[in-house]
Amino acid sequence: MKGTALITGASSGIGESLARVFASNDFQLIITARDTSKLVALKNSLDDPDQTQIVTADLSTREGIDHLIANTKKERVDILVNNAGIMQWGNLQDREADTIDQLIDLNIRALTYLTHHFLKGMIKRSSGKILNVASIAGFQPIPAMGLYAASKAYVLSLTESLSEQIANSGVSVTALCPGITNTPSTEQLINEIPPFIVSSADEVALAGFEALMAGETLCIPGVANKTAVAWAKLQPRSVVRKIGGFVAKFAPDQ
């Protein structure tokens, strides 16, 4: 075995694909999410289920984060994959306050606390890797999903800062920035999107795994996504904001 990878949000979508990629590359797994039955199904579908530990936890709560950390004490976590995240559409002023908490607590707080906790041990050992799942939405404001895009800008910024901060420590941190990916979280809008810009969860997971192993700081899977991000960097912010506005066209009914 090459080590242990802890993967959050492993019960579906990109996280499930990441779990399969790590398992097929000879890593032991700790997989976590809220839905135990899906985690059990994933574990049992792997070639060697005994190499996978399940921890059920709601990472939008401090108790859930503490529970996960407490249940990983026996294993040395060599790789942390902060994948769990939720997407929300709609106007900020129309949201219930507790749904705002849910997004911030999962997309930002859980990722930050888990990184803080596991990074310490990795730095001491001078080895380890962290994969933070951001999004191409982190590169630009998106009025139809402003809170989500802002949370991914946070993930991107934190990851890039850490990457510089820990350079030469033997530890690396990578931001995986997928574009639209065919997963349960996008199933309501996927048919509205031109297929050439939609990636599969497996493609995204493999690109993230390879970038992580290579110690790259940024990974944007897919030519269309890379081109979109590169093009947007050259435009005035006012144009970038307007382009972000077009995404509203694809917003599912609230």
Ligand X SMILES: NC(=O)c1ccc[n+]([C@@H]2O[C@H](COP(=O)([O-])OP(=O)(O)OC[C@H]3O[C@@H](n4cnc5c(N)ncnc54)[C@H](OP(=O)(O)O)[C@@H]3O)[C@@H](O)[C@H]2O)c1
Site for ligand X in 93-122 (CB under 6 A): 106
**Rule CB under 6 A: is residue 80 a binding residue for ligand X?**
no
Q: How far is the CB of 63 from ligand X (least distance, A)?
A: 11
154 is annotated as an active-site residue: no
**Rule CB under 6 A: is residue 225 a binding residue for ligand X?**
no
Rounded to a whole number, what is the distance in angstroms from the first to the last CA of the chain?
45
Site for ligand X in 161-200 (CB under 6 A): 178, 180-181, 183-186
**Rule CB under 6 A: is residue 88 a binding residue for ligand X?**
no
Q: How far is the CB of 223 from ligand X (least distance, A)?
A: 16
Pairwise CA distance, residues 144 & 244, whole Å: 8
Q: How far is the CB of 138 from ligand X (least distance, A)?
A: 9
Q: Is the Cβ of residue 163 or residue 199 nearer to ligand X in the bound state?
A: 199
Please list, residue by residue across 200-217, b when 16 or more beta carbons sit within 10 angstroms of its beta carbon and e when fewer do: ebbbbbbbbbebbeeeee
Which residues are catalytic, by number?
148
Please give the residue ranges that form the binding site for ligand X (CB under 6 A): 9-15, 33-35, 38, 58-60, 83-87, 106, 133, 135, 178, 180-181, 183-186
